[in-house]
Structure 1
Amino acid sequence: MSESRMDRAQFLRRAAALGLLAGVGGTAAAGALPPLAAAAEGSETQAGSRGAGEAGGRRRHPRLAFKGVAYDVGTGFLGDDSRARWNHELMRGEIRAVRHRLHANWVSIYGSNVERLVETAEVALRQGLAVSVQPRAFDEPQADALEKLRQVAVAVEGLRRRYDKEVILAVGCEFMLFTPGIVPGADFFERVEYLTKGEFDMKELQRKFRTFTAQMVKVARRNFQGRITYGAAHDLENVDWSLFDIVGLDYYSYHEDPAGHTKELAPFKKWGKPIMILEFGCCTFTGAPELGGMGWDIVDFSGDVPVIPPQYTRDEQAQADHLANMLEVFTDEGFLGASMYTFISSDAPHRPNDRPHDEDIAAFSLCKVRRKDSDDPASPYRWEPKKSFHSVARYYATH
């Protein structure tokens, strides 16, 4: 196993110890303002979609104004890039598929490279998609994170002024875990270890978290005139949503009864602001929905190559059904939008004739990737839609 692969495995296992890092495995959030125009003509905002009656006393059905998917432009950690192969034409083709094959009207763009974030956002806007843009990094010093956000905010403000589709700025993601200076520790590993010991003052950690978040909001407001949000770990971070226009959540919970979701999500409605689910989903095996954001942890990294243990059966239908069910939940809750994690995971190739090493089984993506050289993350690849892709496309086309 290469050193970078060993580091990645260590990263995931340390993260698993917390049970909080939903979404990391694919690489790797109240004074309400008036709702903005819907992302697509005829869509309803959260505020106007619940409990309103139509002519004749019939109840109007809620709809998601923003029907989206998360899209990684390359998230760096431990010296790696989750999109080792990247070029403009490849990205354009994938964004075109988001618009015309998935029938989405919003793409939630995240990653570490400012140029890629802005380039992808402009391509999406030209395709007629609304966009949210989120700079994301691991162990980036706070001063560097503030400067990167400033650069992104300035660039996407230019896009917001130039195009007539919605442009939203997400100031970041799960700061308590990824950003130094909040939780003690020189790097991510040390912060995780500190938290797993359980001997800390959560009130003090939350104070530091809110101080840094307020600084990021200040930079965003100074350089961007559109709506802002944040990708919050819904079960960890106590966000002051009065600073934001939209409540943004990374949500991977599983409940057999939708009432469980209603109960868990109710506190976020008390802010009186639109809610967007920036991430949700599951991996591609039987039982993955129950594991939620921890589905990637089934991979055995102890040998020379990653192995999918034999008790896990590839099951595209389980993923497809779960995504459709969750879209129903978020629609019924009257949320502004939802984007599943994630469109593509090019670092988890599909090996159809080699089940023990079919890394796509433990991927959250709507597409399976077939590389020319499955052992080289920078090699050319083609992607094929999974059943979940078709399930989401049908939902988006008919709702």
Structure 2
Amino acid sequence: MNRRGVLYDTGRYLGFNWRPQFSREATRRDLTVIRDELHCNAVKLSGRDLDRLATAARDAIALGLEVWLSPELWNHTPARTLDYLAAAARTAETLRREPGARIVLSVATEATFFLRGILPGRTFAARTKHPAPAIRAGRHTEPLAAFLRAAAETARRHFNGPLTYASLPFERVDWQRFDFVAVDHYRYITSEPHYERVLERLRRHEKPVIITEFGMRTYKGADTDPNLLTVGLISWPTVALHQLPLLNHLIRPRLIRGHHQRDEDLQARRIAEDLHILDRAGVEGAFVTQFSEPLLTYHPDPRYDLDMSGFSLVRTYPGPPDRWERKAAFHAVAAHFR
């Protein structure tokens, strides 16, 4: 792999901000760890706030990291999203002109699900509840193609660097519009039988293939859980209510009820296997999901161990954004990239 990276969330937003606190000092420290300890030469910066993305990107550039900028305005209409993309592309062009900058701009992430108007449903939950019939019928194909055509044209008007789109494995994309073929590709019970076939199909476009997301959660049986990419084990209503000022002392975020067991070794082993598979497949680069998830904090009581359901390479603790510890997966990624 020529591009060895990790995803860093500056504040994705779906219902609420997934990184409520953003500290430039903590972010700079994290990016330094990503370069020096994980041995990455690239970082994918995701989030909604363009100022946060630009701040993190400048620090990544200063550290010599290639920046894959992934501005994400989720659950809005195509028209509103294209206006946002134009602003994001202007930001990316400003960053591209900085000394030593290497910037790749992603025009969207998994638009079939995260963009309103591709599949039926006003919310992400509605669109992903029972998507298979609509997808098999190809209802997403034409609106997705129209959006990506407009997105590429919009981005090219304002940004003179390379473009990509973080696709879903089932989406058929006109990759001639982009400089990199990119896919969010997780290996678990549903996708494992055809995981490598997807990579083979994408390589036929004769452009560099990038895995823009892959990873594993941290609980026993995550690799055989068909809900791996949806809710996981989190009781999301308790997480959402905990963000409200009047309820955060009354509602404690927790996992869904049941007996759940933390399994850091599973997460580390599966990610290490993924990296070997991707190396063997000859992909240009890959970004592990993800460095940290500040809302999914660790707790010794498994009922409240939100990190158990997280994809992060470090376990975070409540409080300031600089409290985290390396997990087994962190060391597995570091060993492979080294």
**TM-score, reference length from structure 2:** 0.88
Counterpart position of 2:90: 154
Which residue identity lines up with residue 251 of structure 1 in the other structure? H
Match of 2:3 among 66, 73, 87: 66
User: Contact (CA 8 Å) 2:6, 2:290: kept in 1 or not?
Assistant: yes
Shift of residue 193, structure 1, vs aligned partner: 5.4
Q: Distance in 2 between matches of 1:216 and 1:306?
A: 38
Distance 2:322 2:179 in 1: 39
Aligned equivalents of 1:188 and 1:285: distance in 2?
24
| Pairing partner for 2:115 from 179, 201, 225 | 179
Deviates more, 1:328-337 or 1:281-290: 281-290
How far did 1:119 drift? Answer: 1.2
Aligned twin of 2:42: 106
Q: Which has the larger radius of gyration?
A: 1
1:105, 1:200 → 2: CA distance? 36
For the residues of structure 2 that align with 1:137 and 1:148, how far apart are their CA atoms? Answer: 7
Given that residues 119 and 134 in structure 2 are in contact (C-alpha distance below 8 angstroms), is that contact kept between their aligned partners in structure 1? Answer: no
Q: Label 1:190 to 1:295 Cα distance change in 2 as closer, same or farther (>3 A).
A: closer
In structure 2, what is the equivalent of residue 388 of structure 1?
329
**Conservation of the 8 A alpha-carbon contact between 1:74 and 1:113:** yes
Q: Do 2:119 and 2:139's aligned partners in 1 also have CA atoms closer than 8 Å?
A: no
> Residues 189 and 225 of structure 2 are in contact (CA less than 8 Å); yes or no, is this contact kept in structure 1?
no
Change (3 A) 1:259 1:331: farther
Counterpart of 1:313?
A: 261
Higher mean C-alpha displacement, 280-289 vs 209-218: 280-289
The answer to whether the 8 A contact 1:276-1:337 is kept is yes
Per-residue CA deviation, residues 88-107 of structure 1 (Å, 9 max, x unaligned), is: 11211111111112111100
Report the AA paired with residue 322 of structure 1.
Answer: R
Q: 2:50 and 2:162 mapped to 1: Cα distance?
A: 19
Aligned partner of 1:355 in structure 2 is 302
1:261 aligned to 186, 195, 201, which one? Answer: 195
Tell me the SS of whatever aligns to 2:167: strand
Q: In the alignment, does 2:83 pair up with 1:136? A: no
Runs of 4+ in 1 over 6 A off after TM superposition: none
| 1:228-247 paired onto structure 2 within 5 Å | 228-235=163-170, 237-247=171-181
Assess if the C-alpha contact under 8 Å between 1:141 and 1:180 holds in 2. yes
Distance, in Å, in 2 between the alignment partners of 1:328 and 1:273 is 21
2:316 alignment partner, SS class: strand
| Distance change in 2, residues 1:200/1:176 (3 Å) | closer
Asked if the contact 1:308–1:359 (Cα under 8 Å) also holds between the matched residues in 2, the reply is no
Q: Percent identity?
A: 30
Range with greater deviation from structure 2 (290-299 or 96-105):
290-299
Q: Within 1, Cα distance between the matches of 2:19 and 2:236? A: 20
Q: CA deviation at 1:321?
A: 1.1
**CA shift in 2, pair 1:218/1:291, >3 Å:** same
Residue of structure 2 in register with 1:322 after alignment: 270
From 253, 275, 289, the equivalent of 2:223 is 289
Whether 1:90 and 2:31 are equivalent positions in the alignment is no
Displacement of 1:308 in angstroms is 5.5
Instruction: Please report how far the alpha carbon of residue 164 of structure 1 lies from its aligned counterpart in structure 2 after TM superposition.
Output: 2.7
**Does 186-195 or 384-393 show the bigger shift?**
186-195
Number of aligned residues? 324
Quick one: distance in 2 between partners of 1:67 and 1:286? 27
| Structure-2 separation of matches of 1:297 and 1:276 | 25
Structure 1 residues 195 and 394: CA distance shift in structure 2, 3 A: closer
Deviations 1:2-44 (A, max 9, x none): xxxxxxxxxxxxxxxxxxxxxxxxxxxxxxxxxxxxxxxxxxx
Give the match's secondary structure for 1:162.
coil
Aligned-pair RMSD on alpha carbons? Answer: 2.5
**Offset at 1:194?**
7.3
Tell me by how many angstroms 1:295 deviates: 7.5
Q: In the alignment, is the contact (CA less than 8 A) between 2:163 and 2:178 conserved in 1?
A: yes
Taking the TM superposition and a 5 Å limit, the aligned residue runs for 1:116-131 are 116-131=52-67
Identify the residue that residue 75 of structure 1 maps to in structure 2. Answer: 12
Distance 1:240 1:182 in 2: 16
- The separation in 1 between residues aligned to 2:258 and 2:82, in whole angstroms, is 45
CA offset at residue 368 of structure 1?
0.4
State the shift of 1:240 in Å.
Answer: 1.4
Q: Are the equivalent residues in 1 in contact too, given 2:187–2:274 (CA < 8 A)?
A: no
8 A contact 1:308–1:358 mirrored in 2 = no
User: Structure 1 length normalisation: TM-score?
Assistant: 0.75
Partner in structure 1 of residue 241 of structure 2: none
CA shift digits 1:152-173 (9 cap, x unpaired): 2122222222233431001011
Deviation of residue 75 (structure 1)?
Answer: 1.0
Aligned-partner residue type, residue 334 of structure 1: G
Q: CA 1:259 to 1:332, structure 2 compared with 1: closer, same or farther past 3 Å?
A: farther
**Kept after mapping to 2: 8 A contact 1:367/1:383:** yes
Gaps of 5+ in 2: 239-250
Q: Which amino acid aligns with 1:360?
A: D
Q: C-alpha displacement at 1:364, in angstroms? A: 0.3
